[in-house]
Chain A
Amino acid sequence: MFKKYHIPTESAPSKKRIGKFLVERDLDYCINCGDCIKACLYDVHKRRQEDVRIMAEPDSYKCKGCFRCVIECPQGALSLHDNPEFFKLGDSYYIPKMIKTIWNEAENGRVPVSGAGYRGNFSGPRFDGIWTDMSEIVRPTRDGIHGREYISTAVDLGRRLPYLKFDSNKNVEGVPPNIEIPIPILFNPPPHELNDKTLQLIVANVATKLGTYAIIDADDYQELCNYNVIPRFSSDSNLNLELVKRAKIVEVDYRRNLMEDLRLLKDSHSDILVSIRIALKRGLEPLIMDLTKRGAEIFHLYADYQGNEFEQKPRFITDSLRSVDDYIVDYCLREQITIIASGGIGAAEHVPKTIACGASVVGIDIAYLIALEIGQFDTHIQRFPPIEVTDMDLEWGTQRIINLMNSWRDQLLEVLGAMGMREVRRLQGETGRMIFYVDEEKELYDLVGL
């Protein structure tokens, strides 16, 4: 029977409890009438336990900013303020709103839902300049109530044959090794500044439970080899064939005699998959083409933590991927390889947008750190406060990231469902189903005039 992929979520409440609002009661005006207790539907206002004649300090974390108590207080004693702690979160890329969204998703594992319409800027840079398409009428194959649940989010890691060949016994010949993962998301290693055993264990644990993979430093492989991990050999480390003999996938940084190393790996473990990790830059296309023609199967193209190329004047990851994708599509080789893209993936919608711009799979990093409630950091100058992961409840951390992934997967289903797509594999490189701000603005203002 068809077994539905299911991610087990469970509430994993915030430890930091930083809300967006601060509710302030002006004690000079408050007459302790208690009207606000009734006005607030979310239990912000209570009387003091030790003296019920007096109002307790408002529990601002629970405030949803509806303004009802502010409006109804007969004394005008209440006011709402922006919580300064909230606005200190994150940096210029991972803005407080994104962090709060991840925190909510990590807490309950659900799709964030709210009433009233959209509340942000009309458009924005990077991912915010892309909208995804929808279909008004979809084919009957997408059967209503159940349809969405049978949309597949699985993707393959490995090389795909352009066509099948059969031997005399009618068996398919020469199928290259291939691994299917149920969600198009892998875990990048955390920034070096944060490298910590418990943190690694949490991420490896999450990857294993979800059936996907976490990329780790090859030096740490020994301890984590029972988990779904991908040991990575950075450009300054030598391949240790003995060490990775149990691994299904390894990642190798692009290096001078790469193809030789690849051959060595393949010779000693015929089933191993090798991902070639390359920093995103301009002009990578011919290199990727060349490696593809010489048998490369997986590329991991990584941008910096803010999704930018490693360049003086960087393009954003989506633009970069589009040009790589266009190039290999022209040579009809795109379908044969897997492209992992990482850097700057910090919200559920970034996953389908990155895939539509040409990735097969995305890798996340800062997003799972945020789920673990890292709050004040700066990815631009690589400043990460030490998170006290050694003390961290292993279960809590694991559950938070699992919740986040369930929420993101459900949101991916929403986006695919709206487009009338039955599997995420078909989204790869579908820029025609994306709406780009730059194109639309140009069309509109060509008509209106400037």
Chain B
Amino acid sequence: MLKTVKVRRAPFEIRSISKHKVSYTDACIDCGLCENICPYGVHKRLPGHLKMDRPNSSNCIGPKCKENSFYCVSLCPYNAIRIEPNSDYMVLGDPIWTPDLLLATWYQAETGEPPLSIEYRIGDSGGGFDKLRFKFRKESSNGTEKEHIRTSIELNKRSYGARIEIPVPWYGAGMSFGSISLNTMLARAKASQAWNTFVSTGEGGYPEQLVPYKDHIITQLATGQFGVTEQTIGYARIVEIKYAQGAKPGLGGHLLADKVTPDVAKIRESVPWNSLFSPFPFHSVYSVEDHKKHVDWIRVMSPNPDVLISAKVSSPTDVEMVAVGCYHAGVNIFNVDGSYGGTGAAPDIAKKNIAMPIEYAIQKVHRFLVDEGIRDEITFMVSGGIRTAYDIAKAIALGADGVIIGTADLVACGCTRCGNCEAGRGCPHGIATTDHELVELIQPDWGAQRICNLYYSWQNQLVDILWRLGFDDIRDLRGAGLSEKYEEYGGKGVLQSG
């Protein structure tokens, strides 16, 4: 296992939201006993102060601390300590990104390791990854044997194109300039460089501040073709063609009715104050043959003869046919973006209802490619709802080579998944916005360190998962989640429903 990245603590400068709320009642006489009792530094009295400071609830492990000899609640001589569920925690999150997953991701981004008392592996959506469990064979080891476990994957399996290997089975999803801030883009680019992996530009162009990281940046070409030039294609070792996006499959960009002023409406020949849709699909691509032309065109145009081409599609009923089409068009990487993936702005009806969740699409594509005899010529990456190291492992166990990460990077930078990215000035936390005041809330180096820390924690967990399943290479995990009956697809039955 390759470890290139160092963990450095990168805490929020501000208070973060906690699962439990610790408070003192009026009975507290500020004796300060609890400060010495709690090993997690919840209780503090600032030097020179008489009164106890506000407790640092984020560090408290909650009522389950009862089992410990140091449980402050029962040791306080005045019975003045209260530990209750925090109302903020109850409001936070949703079934997909549960409050625990948000807190756990923030914790990993800060410390580089998974939290002690918070669920960091699965969410609560009742299906998909949240309903799949690994059938582990061994319990955790002391660590020495784990050093030889490999987590790297190859991004190109074709006979042509550059040989690119990334040390972890993921890279960063396209999030455009405009949908996220330049600082957030820079944070992601720096993290990709540190980890020797990649991140995609998204469809909003290639800001020049990213050029120093160009070896780790994928240039995305989408239907709007904003800011795509020969130069930006030339920068890239990988060019990604985005046909569709999971969160809004089959829909183009979306211009809110608010922004369709009479002038805009006039140019677009539409009705003022009515929502408008920018193009879907590519108007140069109406068939697989056109798709191939598209791919060839990029290869010809790029000064880099070894450029890899990736095609990003959504998950329709015939997704496996689309995969074969992409293979024949000559792409190196085939990326399916599932319907529960992230977005800067999309109609809620599309996010919830259109196209299938990635969990269903993976095995369909994997098996079809195997049956067609082309599975080992194409790299199959999946995205759209990959939140944790366990999701990554499950996606691979269902048949993917690797995954693409979007929302988790943002959560590492402090995203609360509130969904306000598109409203008014954009993200109130300065992540998905272009508001000049708000963008200052995220400093690129701090953000990069937090993303690096999260990745560090994930890689350790992947190694642990592999070890407990008895694998020493993540490539062997591919398809291993299918039952033994399906050995031809890699089936070893390491998954079960639970």
A residues lining the B interface (CB < 8 Å)? 4, 6, 9, 21, 24, 29, 39-42, 64-68, 70-73, 75-76, 79-82, 101, 110-123, 130-140, 144-146, 148-149, 348-349, 353, 410-411, 414-415, 417-420, 432-433, 435, 440-441, 443-445, 447-450
A448 partner residues in chain B, CB cutoff 8 A: 132, 398, 481-483, 493, 495-497
Using an 8 Å CB-CB cutoff, how does the interface string of B12-41 with A read, 1 for contact, 0 for none?
101111000000000000000000000000
Q: Nearest CB to that of A129 among chain B residues?
A: B127
Roughly how many angstroms separate A294 CA and B231 CA in the complex, as a whole number? 70
- Inter-chain contact A115/B343, CB cutoff 8 Å: yes
- Say which residue of A4, A114, A415, A450 sits within 8 Å of B346 (CB atoms): A114
Q: Nearest CB to that of A350 among chain B residues?
A: B353
B290 partner residues in chain A, CB cutoff 8 A: 137
A118 partner residues in chain B, CB cutoff 8 A: 96, 247, 339-340, 351-352, 385
- Inter-chain contact A116/B418, CB cutoff 8 Å: yes
Using an 8 Å CB-CB cutoff, how does the interface string of B308-348 with A read, 1 for contact, 0 for none?
00000110110000100000000000000001111111111
In this complex, how many residues of chain B approach chain A with their Cβ under 8 Å: the count is 110
- Inter-chain contact B271/A121, CB cutoff 8 Å: no
Shortest distance in angstroms between A83's beta carbon and chain B's nearest beta carbon? 9
- Inter-chain contact A136/B314, CB cutoff 8 Å: yes
Chain B 237-273 interface residues, beta-carbon cutoff 8 Å to A: 243-244, 247, 249-252, 254, 256-257, 268-271, 273
Using an 8 Å CB-CB cutoff, how does the interface string of B275-298 with A read, 1 for contact, 0 for none?
111111101011110110000000
Roughly how many angstroms separate A39 CA and B441 CA in the complex, as a whole number? 11
Interchain Cβ contacts under 8 Å between A and B, 20 examples: A71-B16, A80-B91, A111-B275, A112-B349, A117-B340, A120-B95, A131-B356, A133-B354, A134-B354, A135-B316, A136-B243, A138-B286, A349-B352, A415-B354, A417-B250, A417-B251, A419-B250, A435-B317, A449-B483, A449-B496
B491 partner residues in chain A, CB cutoff 8 A: 447
Roughly how many angstroms separate A101 CA and B347 CA in the complex, as a whole number? 12
- Inter-chain contact A444/B360, CB cutoff 8 Å: yes
Main secondary structure on B side of the interface with A:
loop
- Inter-chain contact B96/A119, CB cutoff 8 Å: yes
A447 partner residues in chain B, CB cutoff 8 A: 363, 367, 482-483, 486, 491
Q: Nearest CB to that of A116 among chain B residues?
A: B419
Q: Nearest CB to that of B313 among chain A residues?
A: A136
- Say which residue of A6, A81, A117 sits within 8 Å of B341 (CB atoms): A117
B283, B317, B407: residue with the most chain A Cβ atoms closer than 10 Å: B317
B355 partner residues in chain A, CB cutoff 8 A: 131-134, 418, 435
- Inter-chain contact A41/B428, CB cutoff 8 Å: yes
Shortest distance in angstroms between A68's beta carbon and chain B's nearest beta carbon? 4
B347 partner residues in chain A, CB cutoff 8 A: 111-113, 411, 414
B128 partner residues in chain A, CB cutoff 8 A: 122
- Inter-chain contact B417/A82, CB cutoff 8 Å: no
- Inter-chain contact B339/A131, CB cutoff 8 Å: yes
Roughly how many angstroms separate A72 CA and B16 CA in the complex, as a whole number? 9
A130 partner residues in chain B, CB cutoff 8 A: 353
- The answer, yes or no, to whether B359 is at the interface (CB within 8 Å) is yes
- The answer, yes or no, to whether B432 is at the interface (CB within 8 Å) is yes
Q: A112-B347, A136-B316, A440-B360 are in contact. List 19 more A-B contacts (CB 8 A).
A: A70-B17, A70-B88, A79-B86, A110-B275, A113-B256, A114-B348, A117-B385, A120-B96, A120-B125, A122-B96, A136-B313, A138-B286, A145-B268, A415-B349, A417-B250, A420-B250, A443-B363, A445-B497, A447-B363
- The answer, yes or no, to whether B416 is at the interface (CB within 8 Å) is yes
Roughly how many angstroms separate A409 CA and B159 CA in the complex, as a whole number? 49
Shortest distance in angstroms between B24's beta carbon and chain A's nearest beta carbon? 11
- Inter-chain contact A113/B385, CB cutoff 8 Å: no
Contacts A134-B244, A149-B270, A447-B483; is A116 near B342 (CB within 8 Å)? yes
Contacts A70-B88, A444-B360, A450-B496; is A418 near B354 (CB within 8 Å)? yes
A411 partner residues in chain B, CB cutoff 8 A: 347, 349
Shortest distance in angstroms between A350's beta carbon and chain B's nearest beta carbon? 10
- Inter-chain contact A122/B254, CB cutoff 8 Å: no
- Inter-chain contact B317/A433, CB cutoff 8 Å: yes
Roughly how many angstroms separate A417 CA and B428 CA in the complex, as a whole number? 32
B493 partner residues in chain A, CB cutoff 8 A: 448-449
Shortest distance in angstroms between B95's beta carbon and chain A's nearest beta carbon? 5
Shortest distance in angstroms between B287's beta carbon and chain A's nearest beta carbon? 7
- Inter-chain contact A110/B256, CB cutoff 8 Å: yes
B429 partner residues in chain A, CB cutoff 8 A: 66, 68
- Inter-chain contact B349/A122, CB cutoff 8 Å: no
Roughly how many angstroms separate A144 CA and B343 CA in the complex, as a whole number? 21
- Say which residue of A67, A113, A122, A140 sits within 8 Å of B88 (CB atoms): A67
- Inter-chain contact A148/B343, CB cutoff 8 Å: no
- Inter-chain contact A134/B314, CB cutoff 8 Å: yes
Shortest distance in angstroms between A88's beta carbon and chain B's nearest beta carbon? 16
- The answer, yes or no, to whether B130 is at the interface (CB within 8 Å) is yes
- Inter-chain contact A119/B95, CB cutoff 8 Å: yes
A112 partner residues in chain B, CB cutoff 8 A: 347-349
